[in-house]
Structure 1
Amino acid sequence: MAWFAFYLLSLLWATAGTSTQTRSSCSVPSAQQPLVDGIQVLMENSVTASSYPNPSILIAMNLAGAYNVEAQELLTHKLTASDAADLTIGQLALTIMALTSSCQDPENEVSSLQSQMENWAPSSSNAEATAFYGPSLAILALCQKNPEATLTTAVRFAKTLLANSSPFNVDTGAVATLALTCMYNKISVGSGESYRALFGQVLKDIVENISTRIKDNGIIGDIYSTGLAMQALSVTPEQPDKEWDCQKTMDTILYETEQGKFKNPMSIAQILPSLKGKTYLDVPQVTCSTVVVLEEAERKNPTFKFETTMTSWGPVVSSINSIAENVNHKTYWEFLSGKTPLNEGVADYIPFDHEHITANFTQY
């Protein structure tokens, strides 16, 4: 039997996992799910060759589960090719999370963001609250990649937030909550109580401020800040004194969606994760198919190339490094996990973390 093997997969930048545990659960009624699906399709259809590569859209697409795979791949490739030097701190952080959610390894972008945040400081002791929005995203993105290396920067950021006296901003507060919740959750109980106490204190102050912006109909701040605020309130370890009625917020958002309030792709990207029961903390848990991991292997190793052929069962790998299947010779590429053949196609099989998958060129 003719055979030739490639050992492909020990690089998995996103692993299978469950969604972030929420403190106040709510969901979209099944009768209104088509409404949510409709705005997701509208958002995904905004991705074209000429459109601005918006990382928030890719994050939302991956957290929700993309319907338009071509748009997903196009946006991933456009963000991969973007120049980090042209991006603000916030844009760079979102790009890192977007690429991570697409199972890419944004190593260069992470290094750049780490360097920028090591030198970051607000312009004054009472800087506008919006000045903390980008840095909050940066702490969140860096926490998800390397929380230990981010700790010193996160502590300095948290202390700066405590000392700042500018008027509160819901969007900034929500993203800061997600960032510091990530750091809080990464610290083992008993090994960093002073850090947990600091992050907990800041989180308590922020979520209390967010809770005072909850209107009688459930909207938090305004309709377009509600999506991020829902994420924040659903995951924070420090709950506000005023109980939040998540379902009331969800019902109002669905009503406003029905009224056509969410037509702009960016506004959809902000609300969609909450409608799908996800938050930005779920970015590292997004799962990717074997095809995606093959694409990442190809990107990281220029000597590795593969091709696929579309069949009624979806794409199959037909060639690796110019060694192609041949019907006349009864040869094909077989994929195995360890010594066990995969029971799903490469478009459907979801690898687990540190799994070793072999591509074996063999005969049937």
Structure 2
Amino acid sequence: MGHRWLLCLLSFQVLSVPVQLDDIHGDDALLIQSLTLKLLRSTDDPYKPLNPSVHLGLRLSREHNLEKEAQYLQKLREVFQPTLGSSTHSDQEEPSTGLLALYILALRASCEDFNTHPNRRLISQLKHLLHEEKQHIGLKGFPISNFYQYSLGVLSLCLTQKVIDHHVIEKLVHAQEEDKFSHNQHTSVDTEAVAGLAFLCLQHSNLYPAFLMEKLRNATIAVKEKLVQNQTPGEPDILGNIYSTSLALQFLWALEPNDNEAERSKFISILLNGVKKEHFKNPMPISQLLPVLHHKNYLDIAKLNCKDEQETPSLDWVPGSRGSKVNVLEDDEIFVWLSVKVGTGSSMEYSKLLYVRSGSSLLDVLRTAQKDKSQDFTFETKVTLSGKMLTAVKGIEASGTERTYWQLIKAPDTPLLEGIEDYIPKKNEHIILRLAKW
């Protein structure tokens, strides 16, 4: 589940004075600009994986460092479109449906010509992946990757104005009707939102027969209803969680562009409050948030013409601290209880009280546990667009075939939505690594 961000569900209060959408200035304007700078700095960080979503976030901003955007697009091109016969090409693993879709969207946001031979090959590759995903849905009821990536693929082809196989579209519509956009028995707001954007794009294209257009309209309405149903109890302006709210708002505002401005201002205030509390640290959620703060969504990619774009002087390149981690403000140690659970029983495969520096990440806690050879604790990770993802604990691997993953739990039963690099355990917390189904 590389595209899904195990990020932390946090509470927010509505600010007393809502931000006016067309009048963001002062500290709020600087705050938004700081997010753009974070994305720009991430493009120069060799420790972060190349991420087409970062480029999308930068392109859908009102502020630009065009030189850095062009340089980052070239880095992406070298990975996703290496020259034939090069060592990069021979060693490069084929991208997943979602990753290839994001790269094509990044090219579209840079006004690339999709009639060139290299770009036509990309489109053919994505169509082939979607065909295989569609067949897998027919056999197993779910795609090879997941419905989030499948939705991104449909959205990407639509925004490049390519005709999509009716059966590919109908599989996505049917999945929405059958409530299959779920993760661990909870609705995936991210998937609903991206699928909704794809449904809207397909309707706007006017390339499909009346019966399919009617299905798309009904599916779009159903997505809106599902998002409303997933408002956080006690926090009706949070859709799923603070991070998924960004994508949900992209869809809702694309659906109703002239909706109540006071409501929009309230959402913007909530998101900016989250930024002020430094909850948006990872480039991936920042790249999805930035378009919302600039009153844009992924469908606006089709409106970009890349002409007469102006540099923003205050975005002159300032190198960041490469590979830097969270600043530790305290030197004292805290203890964190770490446990491992496999299966439905109450017994733990591993349980240990660990002492770590205050401000350490969960990844630091895992490394501390692994250093204690007497406890036989091991773990493995893989690099994703959102940072390192836990893939194995004590030799037990998460399995795509078995649809299992290592879930991060704050005891007794609160799932963490931040990843192991981003979550900072507090003093006396009990963290459970649980092998769960998705």
Q: What band does the TM-score fall into relative to the shorter chain?
A: 0.5 to 0.7
* 2:107 counterpart of 1:99: yes
What residue number does 2:429 align with?
none
Q: Distance in 2 between matches of 1:200 and 1:129?
A: 26
* Larger strand percent: 2
Q: Distance in 1 between matches of 2:295 and 2:270?
A: 16
* Larger helix percent: 1
Shift of 1:130: 8.2
Correspondence for 2:130 among 114, 117, 138? 117
**Mapped contact 1:60–1:269 kept (Cα < 8 A):** yes
Select between 60-69 and 217-226 the one with higher mean Cα deviation. 60-69
SS at match of 1:219: strand
TM-score, normalized by length of structure 1? 0.65
Say if 1:120 and 1:128 are closer, same or farther in 2 by CA, change over 3 A: closer
What code does the residue aligned with 2:201 have? C
Q: Distance in 2 between matches of 1:217 and 1:251?
A: 14
**Mapped contact 1:90–1:134 kept (Cα < 8 A):** yes
* 2:188 counterpart of 1:192: no
Shift of 1:150: 4.6
What code does the residue aligned with 1:143 have? C
Shift of 1:52: 2.0
Specify which structure has the bigger relative contact order, considering alpha-carbon pairs within 8 angstroms and separated by 6 or more residues.
1
SS at match of 1:44: helix
Q: Distance in 2 between matches of 1:92 and 1:107?
A: 13
Ranges in structure 1 where 5+ consecutive residues have no aligned partner: 1-24, 292-364
Shift of 1:144: 1.2
Shift of 1:46: 1.1
**Mapped contact 2:157–2:163 kept (Cα < 8 A):** no
Q: Distance in 1 between matches of 2:257 and 2:24?
A: 28
Say if 1:290 and 1:82 are closer, same or farther in 2 by CA, change over 3 A: farther
What residue number does 1:225 align with?
244
- The CA RMSD measured in Å over matched residues stands at 3.1
What residue number does 1:266 align with?
284
Shift of 1:239: 12
1:1-364 matches, within 5 Å, as 26=21, 29-31=24-26, 32-48=28-44, 50=46, 51-83=48-80, 86-105=94-113, 106-121=119-134, 122-123=136-137, 127=142, 131-165=146-180, 166=182, 167=185, 168-187=187-206, 192-215=209-232, 216=235, 218-236=237-255, 245-289=263-307
Between the two proteins, the alignment pairs up a number of residues equal to 263
Q: Distance in 2 between matches of 1:130 and 1:196?
A: 26
**Mapped contact 2:148–2:195 kept (Cα < 8 A):** yes
What residue number does 1:296 align with?
none
Q: Distance in 2 between matches of 1:128 and 1:117?
A: 9
**Mapped contact 1:204–1:239 kept (Cα < 8 A):** no
Say if 1:49 and 1:225 are closer, same or farther in 2 by CA, change over 3 A: closer
Q: Distance in 1 between matches of 2:166 and 2:172?
A: 10
Say if 1:67 and 1:235 are closer, same or farther in 2 by CA, change over 3 A: closer
Select between 115-124 and 170-179 the one with higher mean Cα deviation. 115-124
Select between 102-111 and 261-270 the one with higher mean Cα deviation. 102-111
Q: Distance in 2 between matches of 1:248 and 1:237?
A: 16
What is the CA deviation profile of residues 106-152 of structure 1, one whole-angstrom value per residue up to 9, with x for unaligned ones? 32211100111123235566649982000000000001123434544
Say if 1:29 and 1:238 are closer, same or farther in 2 by CA, change over 3 A: closer
What code does the residue aligned with 1:30 have? H
Q: Distance in 2 between matches of 1:100 and 1:64?
A: 15
**Mapped contact 1:63–1:278 kept (Cα < 8 A):** yes
Ranges in structure 2 where 5+ consecutive residues have no aligned partner: 1-19, 82-92, 114-118, 310-438
Q: Distance in 2 between matches of 1:244 and 1:135?
A: 34
Shift of 1:205: 1.6
**Mapped contact 1:180–1:203 kept (Cα < 8 A):** yes
Q: Distance in 1 between matches of 2:78 and 2:226?
A: 39
Q: Distance in 1 between matches of 2:220 and 2:125?
A: 27
Q: Distance in 2 between matches of 1:252 and 1:71?
A: 30
Say if 1:33 and 1:66 are closer, same or farther in 2 by CA, change over 3 A: closer
What residue number does 1:313 align with?
none
Shift of 1:250: 1.2
Q: Distance in 2 between matches of 1:136 and 1:202?
A: 13
Q: Distance in 1 between matches of 2:124 and 2:70?
A: 24
Select between 161-170 and 38-47 the one with higher mean Cα deviation. 161-170
**Mapped contact 2:104–2:122 kept (Cα < 8 A):** yes
**Mapped contact 1:56–1:266 kept (Cα < 8 A):** yes
What code does the residue aligned with 1:272 have? L
What is the CA deviation profile of residues 231-285 of structure 1, one whole-angstrom value per residue up to 9, with x for unaligned ones? 0111227999xx9932221111111111111122212101000000110001122
What code does the residue aligned with 1:219 have? I
SS at match of 1:245: helix
What is the CA deviation profile of residues 327-349 of structure 1, one whole-angstrom value per residue up to 9, with x for unaligned ones? xxxxxxxxxxxxxxxxxxxxxxx
